[in-house]
Every structure is written in C-alpha cells, then in structure tokens.
Amino acid sequence: MGDSKYVLEMIDICKSFPGVQALDKAQLKVEPGTVHALMGENGAGKSTLMKCLFGVYIEDSGEIFVDGQKVKFLNPKQAMDSGVAMVHQELNQVLQRDVMDNIWLGRYPGKGGVVSEKAMYEETKKVFDELEIDVNPRVKMAKLSVSQRQMVEIAKAVSYKAKILVLDEPTSSLTEEEVNHLFKIINKLRKQGCAIIYISHKMEEILRISDHVTVMRDGKWIDTKPASELTTGKIIKLMVGRDLVNRFPPKTNEPGEVILEVKNLTGMYQPSVIDASFELRKGEILGVAGLVGSRRTELLETIFGIAHKSQGEIILHDKKVNNKNSRAAIKNGFALLTEERRATGVFLKANIKENATIANIDGYCKMGVLDNKKIEEDTDWVIKSMNVKTPSKKTLIASLSGGNQQKVIIGRWLLTKPEILLLDEPTRGIDVGAKYEIYQLIIELAKKGKGVIMVSSEMPELLGICDRILVMSNGRVAGIEDTKDLDQEIIMALAAKYI
C-alpha cells in the first residue's frame, strides 16, 4: 500500500533503452489539489518517467501507486480509465475529424452501438463552458491554432474526470494572454482536487503556478522542494549541477554589409505577410517578435518558398532570387528550421545519419551512386561540431532529447552550406542547458558570416542574442530596432500596432 497523503507515488522507477539508462531509481510524490512541477534538462528523464506512468512505456523495475493502490498500466487507455491523463508536448490529434470526435474517440456516447451526436455535442459544450474555452465542437481540428488544439486536449483530459493531469510543455506555443487562460484552468482544476504535473523549462512560469518542484538530472531524482523556497538560480543549479550565471553567451559576431533585401513581400493566400520589407546584414542575427497570429512563421515560409508570394522581391548579394519551392531555396543558399520539430523537422523512424544528411542528398549523388564515405564523414561532423549527445549515429533520432534533435537538424542544414538561416522557434521545448548551447551555435554561425533570421516567442531570448529585432503585427512589419534600444514593453506596444 502507498501513502494515502499522495494521489501519486512513483518509487525507484528504472527504465533503460539500448545504450541509454533513461531512468535510474527515479521518484515522484504528488499531493491531490496541487501543481507539481517536474523539471530537468532535456534527457533528464522527465518525459520517460511520465510515459511510464501513462502506460506508453513499461518500467523495468519500481512501483507506482495511485490513490494508495498499486497500479501497472499497460497502455494509455488503462491510465485514462483510472483517472490519469496526459497532454503531450507534440499533440497527437486526428486533424481531419471535428473537435468533439477527437474528444470522444473510442468512447462515443450513445446506446446499443448507435452514437448520439446530440449527447456528444452537449457533453463537449459542457466541458468547454466550464473551462471557458471558446471553440465550436463541430469545427474541424485542422482549422484550429496550436493553442486552441491544446485547450481541446486539456478539455479531453477533464472529460475523463482525471484526478492526475500531466501537462508536458503546455505553453511552448502560447501567447501571454493564452498562458493566463491556461493558468486560470489549472487553478480551477486544482480547486476541484485534481493534481497537475507540470513539465516546463520556463522558470518564471514554474515559480508562478507551482506548489512543489521536483528536479531530475540524468534519469535520477535530485530534489523536491516547495516552490516558495526556490528561485530561478536555485532551480538552474539543481538542474545542471552548476551555476549558470549568464543565460546567454557573450555576443562575438559583428554584422557587416547588407547581404539580403526583402522588398514588399506579400503572401498569395491570406492571412499571410503583407508588404514586408527589411534588410539583413552579413553576420547579423535578426530577431522576429510578435504575438501568435502576427504571421512570423509565414514570413519565413514565404521567404523560403514553401508559402507562395503574390508580390515582392528577395535580393541576395544584389541578385534577385526566385525561391519558388524549398528545393530552389536550398539551391539559392537558404535553410529553414521549422517550429514543429516532430511534424516537419525530424524523420522519427530514421536514425541520426539519415536525418543529418537528407537535405544534402543531391550533394552525395555522383552519376546515380551514393557516396557512403562522404555521408559517414558528414554525419560524424554533425555529431562532433553540434555536440550531439548520442550512443551512435545509428541511434533512432526519436530516442534523443529535444535539444539533441534540434542540434542534428541545425547540422543537417549547415551541410547544405547556406548563407541565410531561417530559424523558427529554435529553442522551443528545450531546457536551459541545451538552450545555451544552441545560442552559442547561432552566435558562432553569425560570426562565420551567415545571416540569421530567428523567430521566437521568448522576449528575453530575442533581447539576449539578437542584434536587431523586427516586430510583426497582423502580418505587417510594425518596426525594426537595434536590440540595445528595446525592452519588452516597447516590443509589446509594436506587436499590438496593427491589431
């Protein structure tokens, strides 16, 4: 029997994969009606521990108690039927079905095998009203923004009458306003006695919302403390085992002459960018700020040619370039690191070697024969120069932490020898230690003369590593300023300019 004080106890949980001891006697004890933050660098074992709870993985050893009763969930359905729900960082939803279908999939309300659409709609509406979620239950999932899809996923967990709700990086794509709404929902669930396990890398959020904080490192439990006793500095020290005094590396790049001009760029299919114009210098890191819906991603996609333009010019080294698709863009010296890493960045069923070299495949083909020696050399270069932590280059990329996956993708694009790097949320869902390494990589690339355009929702990040910041509002460029002349309030004021 477990301790009845806790709604969840995970004791001495061990789990290993080929070449990796992911969990080593990990612990977690959560009280009902509290928000318990689970923190640690990428690869610390947080998601693996939660997947053991949720029945995605079966632990090698250790015990799990829910409400004092020992449990061993063999699949997520068993976990959800027992009141344990999880909202994953990478949302797994059926985008071609409507919202209520996604919520009731596998347990449709009705009698004698006949589904009651009316009951389904009413039940969905009831949950949405309770959580103040403004989404039509009959709309197709594909039509929703990432933040709305996330709210739907939380509503689904609530519809299961969850007593334990795991939120994995829930705010990585949310605006300030949406974060406040999420916290309102969390507080409501907390008052109803639900225990929330909250995984995030955003220190300020953790300290604002949590009752307790558990820190993991290298698959082990390090400490559990009341949030009131912690500061950002103390959490970082527990996470990385060292003081991380400066969150950002020193800026050593020196921007030179203008290498890229974007003139009056407008997307073909609205909503998209409207009449965007700016310049980028050699060795410059240009940040792109704005609220969700400001079309920051669309700006990068239109430059890269995966979103079509109706007008405008892209001029590289005084020559007009026509990025009519991604292949042409790569040939013209552009590289795009996408925001949705798992959906559009990595090939999850492929290994590191395949993921690292895929964008440069034309460069390895000589008279129809692949140069395997060159592929091996380039993969070794990516692992070494990007400092990728992996057992081998044959390891499936899906088993790497988010930070290491991101480093492989950056390495992949560098093999195409780009001049302009377009980075969309390059540190999304990545821990503080790995973030620092990604910042170092970006500054190093700028130092070598690359032009970098970087979209980020984290203002401290933009202010910390960019030379100038372009602020977008409702598809338009609201202003471009030197970072030293900006603070968060000025950026927010510009972001609201055309709304």
Helix (H) or strand (E) run with residue 143 in it: none
Q: Give CA separation, 478 vs 296, 307, 352, 492, in Å.
A: 12, 21, 40, 11
Of 181, 214, 240, which closes a domain?
A: 240
Helix (H) or strand (E) run with residue 225 in it: strand 220-226
- Rounded CA-CA distance 433/443 in Å is 16
Q: Do 474 and 337 sit in the same domain of this protein?
A: yes
Whether 249 is in a domain gets the answer: no
Q: Do 228 and 264 sit in the same domain of this protein?
A: no
Of 240, 273, 307, which closes a domain?
A: 240
CB hemisphere CA count around 154 (13 angstroms)? 30
Q: Give CA separation, 452 vs 13, 337, 448, in Å.
A: 43, 11, 11
Strands (E), 332-491: 334-337, 365-366, 369-370, 420-424, 451-455, 468-473, 476-482
- Return phi, psi of residue 336, to 5°: -125, 120
Q: Do 265 and 216 sit in the same domain of this protein?
A: no
* Among 185, 196, 192, CA closest to 132: 185
- Rounded CA-CA distance 407/168 in Å is 21
Q: Specify the pLDDT at position 92.
A: 73
Whether 246 is in a domain gets the answer: no
Helix (H) or strand (E) run with residue 83 in it: none
Q: Do 139 and 264 sit in the same domain of this protein?
A: no
Q: Do 227 and 95 sit in the same domain of this protein?
A: yes
Whether residue 473 contacts residue 302, with contact meaning beta carbons closer than 8 Å, is answered with: no
- 253 SS3 class: coil
- 151 SS3 class: helix
Q: Do 135 and 174 sit in the same domain of this protein?
A: yes
- Give the burial class of 293: count Cβ atoms within 10 A of its Cβ; 0-12 exposed, 13-18 middle, 19 or more buried: middle
CB hemisphere CA count around 306 (13 angstroms)? 16
Whether residue 421 contacts residue 445, with contact meaning beta carbons closer than 8 Å, is answered with: yes
Whether residue 16 contacts residue 60, with contact meaning beta carbons closer than 8 Å, is answered with: yes
Paired tokens of 305: 């040619």
Whether 197 is in a domain gets the answer: yes
* Among 145, 165, 203, CA closest to 35: 165
What is the number of structural domains in the chain?
2
Q: Do 235 and 265 sit in the same domain of this protein?
A: no
Whether 491 is in a domain gets the answer: yes
- Rounded CA-CA distance 12/63 in Å is 7
- 281 SS3 class: strand
Whether 39 is in a domain gets the answer: yes
Q: Specify the pLDDT at position 88.
A: 78
Q: Do 351 and 296 sit in the same domain of this protein?
A: yes
Q: Give CA separation, 9 vs 64, 135, 215, 229, 471, in Å.
A: 6, 35, 15, 22, 46
Domain of 444 in residue numbering reads as 258-495
Residue-by-residue pLDDT tens, the chain, 499 positions: 667 789 999 999 999 876 678 899 999 999 999 999 998 876 688 888 999 999 999 999 999 999 999 999 999 889 988 999 888 766 677 888 888 888 887 777 666 667 778 888 888 888 888 888 888 888 898 888 777 888 888 888 888 788 999 998 887 667 778 888 889 989 999 998 999 999 987 778 889 999 999 999 888 999 999 999 998 888 878 887 755 567 789 999 999 999 999 999 999 988 899 999 999 999 999 999 987 779 999 999 999 999 999 999 999 999 999 999 989 999 999 999 887 655 556 787 788 988 888 877 777 787 778 888 888 888 998 888 878 888 888 888 887 877 788 888 888 888 888 999 999 988 876 767 778 888 998 999 999 999 999 999 888 889 999 999 999 999 999 999 999 998 888 888 898 788 7
Q: Do 236 and 266 sit in the same domain of this protein?
A: no
Of 184, 213, 240, which closes a domain?
A: 240
Whether 213 is in a domain gets the answer: yes
- Give the burial class of 242: count Cβ atoms within 10 A of its Cβ; 0-12 exposed, 13-18 middle, 19 or more buried: exposed
Q: Do 92 and 125 sit in the same domain of this protein?
A: yes
Q: Do 287 and 367 sit in the same domain of this protein?
A: yes
Q: Do 178 and 207 sit in the same domain of this protein?
A: yes
- Rounded CA-CA distance 109/100 in Å is 11
Whether 215 is in a domain gets the answer: yes
* Strands 195-199 and 164-168, bridge-based pairing: parallel
* Among 415, 420, 438, 419, CA closest to 428: 438
Whichever domain contains 298, its CATH number is 3.40.50.300
Whether 253 is in a domain gets the answer: no
Strands (E), 35-115: 35-39, 61-66, 69-71, 84-87, 110-111, 114-115
